Structure 1
Amino acid sequence: MVFFSFKRRSHFVYKKLRDPRSKIRLLYLHAGRADEPICCSLRTPSLGSLPQYEAVSYTWGDSTAHHPIQINGKQFDTLRNVYYALKELRHPVGIAILWIDAICIDQQNLEEKRHQILLMGDIYQRASRVIVWLAEPRADLDLAVGLLNELKAQHDEGTYTVRSLLAIHRPRLRSPEWIALRNLLDHPWWSRIWTLQEVVLARNIVVRLGQHVVPWEHLGIMATSSVLASQTLEMLTMRAGEKLHSDRGVPQGCYAIGLIEGMRYRIRNGVPYSLVTLLGESWDRKAADPRDHIFGLSALAPDIKELDLYPNYTTPVGKAFTDTVHKILLRYGTYILFSHAGRGYDR
């Protein structure tokens, strides 16, 4: 095993992509043990010649907290959440090939960023699988995963009704395993605008919870099973004295899973979305940059190019929104967006 030191290393500088409309960067994450530095390299294949890779869906978290990694032999300061994701996702032997936006896109190059955002649909669709990485692993993850496995087994048996489900789980309502599941479904990942297209377009999804790899289907049954969906919603509702990340009083994941499953079903059946429909369905999702409420849906809305709404982070926020509404009015002749204005706020 080769050990690396970050002392006196020069900082990594991005090389411009020859054509950011057809080429991407892939991160080659080298093997290492938990106590070893993270060492990577970047390669720039075209979309037509991609190796097998995995795409990571996660939340950026605190953008001011950085940790050093090594890229192409040089130091690169990356986000705290990215750093810990790479620590968990690297293999003890062999190379993991990943696409992760904070590193694979030069975030300071707005022109590159504009073109790469338009490729994200292809990037997530072509990945061998999308890994949903939920930051901040906790001691109760084992309990949450155990309960998910139990619910999936009961679902597959097909033997329960509302009455039997309540008989099994109602007495355990505030048990550690149900609290652990509520905490999992209350993670900020479930509320972010970008994560929507990342999993809706994926061929294969797994959720990484510490050392656990959970198939998406174990979570999806909360939406596809009407019995489980209704009872889970009731059982996870916030009680007096409890706090949740979501302001709905119910973990955001309870709603997000249903939304994601519905969108995946629609797209699999060849029913395209319009931007105006997507804006209505995703109005309550969150983004650090308000413009991402539009740009973060670009991979799901085929008409975004027809509307000439290309991602442009030099456009002031107010103008980005007014231009979007104006173009939707001209194209579709609908005032439906005005019914969403101020939803969730004092109108």
Structure 2
Amino acid sequence: MSANQARRRDSLGTSLKDNSLTVLEEFRHHPLDTGVDCTRLVQIHAARNEDDPLACDLVHVAFGARPKFEALSYRWGDNDDQKTILVDGKRFGVGKNLWDALHFLRGRAENTPYWIDALCINQRDTEERNRQLRMMGHIYFRASTVVVWLGRKYLQFQSDIEESQLVRSPSTTKAEPSAPSTDGQDQAHNAVPGEGSSEREMVKELCADGYWNRLWIIQEIVQARQIKVCFGKLAMTWAHFTHLVTMHNPDGGGPLRLDRHRKERYNGSHTLQKLLGDHEAAECKEPKDKIYGLVGLAADAHGFPMDYNKSLIEIWTDTMEFMNGRGLLLESELVEFGKLVKRLLMGTQCGPLQQALRPYQPEKDPTLVIEDDGRNPKVFEQSAFLLGYVSHVGPSTTESIASLQKLDEWAGEVQKIWQEFEKITQGV
């Protein structure tokens, strides 16, 4: 830490013991340079005491400078439970779970810069949010480590657990976790201590954690080169964590499901169509993220249009036209895929008004007739069979009442249609 940073931290700590954080000016993000691929990183200030205010700095970095950083993966939690931290000496509101994560990180790795979405993205700037979310996959891939924060609540299980007592997996390499060893020494080392202990209850709670159901963490976990899992007071590698889970809860859910996705990331199975189908039940607060949250992970979704200003029906249209224009859908899959995307975006309770609702912007009337040159994504090819045709249009209600002749003509036409129907059904 520089001398200036230390002096500023000391002055902040002294002043805030006597004054509320609310007296400070609210933090506002400085705009990012739109001419280069760049982002912000968080530098957490060290603290002498546990109750010192959480303070950090935001720095702008260009990807071309090859910055070294770690990326945080966590649940945002309830927005109603807000805590205040200091960013560049000004107050900034964060959720309780992120506040706990920052406390944990502050005591673990001084001078480590982090990418944290709630801080590094100006959530009030939709255009910046669109640009940064397109980079999410690259950010988590370029991070030296993705830090998974599962929460402070696991302290309740850890009063009688030391990190050295937990089930351990064999040593791992930096690239990928190795398969469990089978020699006698490792088997003894991997033995499960205290089958009825707090450790087993803790793992049960870990596997049921709502974190694993979040949609965004699919991309964050799968893209990561290395993962550190933190919960309560403990931290361990992904390999150790998944081995711990397997020893206590080998049913394949939660983290083990994501571990399988990590192993499949290079076999070409991560298509947008498959990802949307596989993760239909994944949870997110923003319906648009049901699509946008998986685009960065899909091998065939480069160039997908992401725009949070668009309505749900516009995003449905974008998705269908993108898939159709790239030839990513078979003709037989069009209808079912359209239904899937509609369910993801709108569920079953969303009415037409909610689907189309967005800030009004005047625009030209769309062309009703589309010329198809074989490459227009707005033209969907679908096989069809002629089941019938309109042979006659009957009179209106007013005409039927006023003109008996028109009514008789309509009755005659109905009789002709009925006779034709009988011939067909009787095979004549």
Identify whether the pair has TM-score above 0.5, normalized to the shorter chain: yes
**1:232 is matched with which residue?**
249
Q: Deviations over 1:116-143 (max 9, x none)?
A: 0111112111111110001242311467
Matched, 1:140 2:189: no
Q: Which residue is 2:258 aligned to?
A: 260
Structure of higher RCO (CA pairs closer than 8 Å, 6+ residues apart): 1
Match of 1:327 among 322, 327, 338: 322
The Cα of 1:21 is off from its aligned counterpart by: 5.8
Separation (CA, whole Å) in 2 of partners of 1:109 and 1:177: 44
TM-score for the superposition, normalised by structure 1: 0.78
Q: 2:34 matched to 1:19?
A: yes
DSSP-derived class of the 1:45 partner: strand
Please, which of 62, 75, 89 is the counterpart of residue 91 of structure 2? 75
Partner Cα distance (2:276, 2:323) in 1: 11
Deviation at 1:20, TM superposition (A): 7.4
Residues 75 and 50 of structure 1, relative CA distance in 2, 3 Å threshold: farther
RMSD: 3.4
For residues 54-203 of structure 1, the aligned pairs below 5 Å read 54-91=70-107, 94-138=110-154, 139-141=156-158, 149-150=166-167, 152=169, 156=180, 158=182, 172=195, 176-203=198-225
In 2, the alpha carbon distance for the partners of 1:294 and 1:143 equals 43
Alpha-carbon distance in 1 for matches of 2:92, 2:45: 15
Other-structure match for 1:288: 285
Instruction: Tell me by how many angstroms 1:42 deviates.
Output: 0.6
Residue 219 to residue 324, structure 1, CA distance change in 2 (3 Å): same
- CA distance in 1 between counterparts of 2:297 and 2:280 reads 15
Partner Cα separation in structure 2 for residue 144 and residue 20 of structure 1: 51
Q: Which has the larger radius of gyration?
A: 2
Distance 1:137 1:110, change over 3 A: same
Q: Distance in 2 between matches of 1:20 and 1:181?
A: 46
Give distance in 2, aligned partners of 1:117 and 1:79. Answer: 20
Which residue does the alignment assign to 1:250? none
CA contact (8 A) 1:191 1:256 kept: yes
- Correspondent of 2:313 among 288, 309, 318: 318
Distance 2:249 2:55 in 1: 42
- The alpha-carbon deviation at position 11 of structure 1 amounts to 1.0
Percent of matched pairs sharing the same residue: 27
The superposition leaves residues 6-58 of structure 1 with CA deviations (integer Å, 9 ceiling, x where unpaired) of: 36321111111112761100011010131000111111010111432110000
Secondary structure of the 1:200 match is helix
TM-score (norm 2): 0.64
**Alpha-carbon distance in 2 for matches of 1:332, 1:51:** 36
Pair 1:337 & 2:337 matched: yes
Among 211, 217, 227, the residue aligned to 2:233 = 211
Aligned-residue offset at 1:210:
1.9
How many residues align structurally?
312
